Chains A and B, each alone.
Chain A
Amino acid sequence: EAAVTQSPRNKVTVTGGNVTLSCRQTNSHNYMYWYRQDTGHGLRLIHYSYGAGNLQIGDVPDGYKATRTTQEDFFLLLELASPSQTSLYFCASSENRNTEVFFGKGTRLTVV
């Protein structure tokens, strides 16, 4: 079964702080995604990638950068964190765009 591992699982930072969320998948999937989950909004796509070095913009990219360094690793960067970015973040991966998406367990980020 596909494994998607996120770290850290919980993070608290201050407004204006610099945060990096990490994600690793161990099934050599081509696609990786970053979502945020908020009450009343469900899951919203921030960025995604279809391979090392590639980055695509999702629906809510403002305030976020992402980088896919290898087939396995996808990072989400918040360079100037704001309280509006307090959320539960999920990383996910899939072999192709029309195949099952496997999610990690999430990272809860709090910006105070």
Chain B
Amino acid sequence: GNSVTQMQGQVTLSEEEFLFINCTYSTTGYPTLFWYVQYPGEGPQLLLKVTTANNKGSSRGFEATYDKGTTSFHLQKASVQESDSAVYYCVLGDRDTGYQNFYFGKGTSLTVIP
């Protein structure tokens, strides 16, 4: 079946440090991978998506690629700011099933200390 695993439940960084959030996925279909971000008091919102393996998605200074060989999908940012403090969700969509469901990881809570 389809699933997404985010092992890092919480990450704490200082401003200008490098961010790397790891996500692995499992699917029998052809995946599209998304990162959603949730700020305090808000619903999740799309940060970026990647539809093809080894292609890079980018938005607001964040970048992500997925590796079909290792079934991994990473989110990274070169220099975080306090305003990046939020929960980040890795999300799997399966095009072969017509996206019958999106599979959310459990989320990684990022705290950036000024």
Chain A residues with CB under 8 Å of chain B are 4, 40-45, 58-59, 90, 92, 97-98, 100-106
Contact = CB atoms under 8 A, between A and B. Distances in A.
A96 to B, nearest CB: 8
A42 B43 contact: no
A103 B89 CA distance: 14
Interface stretch (B62-70, B77-85, B104-112): B104-112
B45 A103 contact: yes
Chain B: interface residue count, which band? Answer: 20 to 34
Contacts of A100: 46, 49
A92 B41 CA distance: 15
Interface string B90-104: 000101001111101
A102 B44 CA distance: 8
A103 B99 contact: no
Majority secondary structure, A binding face: loop
Contacts of B42: 103, 105
A47 B96 CA distance: 21
B107 A45 contact: no
A103 B93 contact: no
Interface of B: 32, 36, 41-46, 49, 89, 93, 95, 98-102, 104-107
A106 B89 contact: no
Given A40-B106, A103-B44, A105-B43, 7 more contacts: A41-B106, A42-B105, A45-B102, A97-B98, A98-B98, A101-B102, A104-B43
Contact of A58 (B36, B43, B98, B101): B101
Which of A44, A58, A101 has the most chain B CB within a 10 Å cutoff? Answer: A101
Contacts of A90: 43-44
Given A41-B106, A42-B105, A42-B106, A97 B99 contact: yes
Nearest to A106: B43
A42 B107 CA distance: 6
Given A40-B106, A43-B104, A98 B32 contact: yes
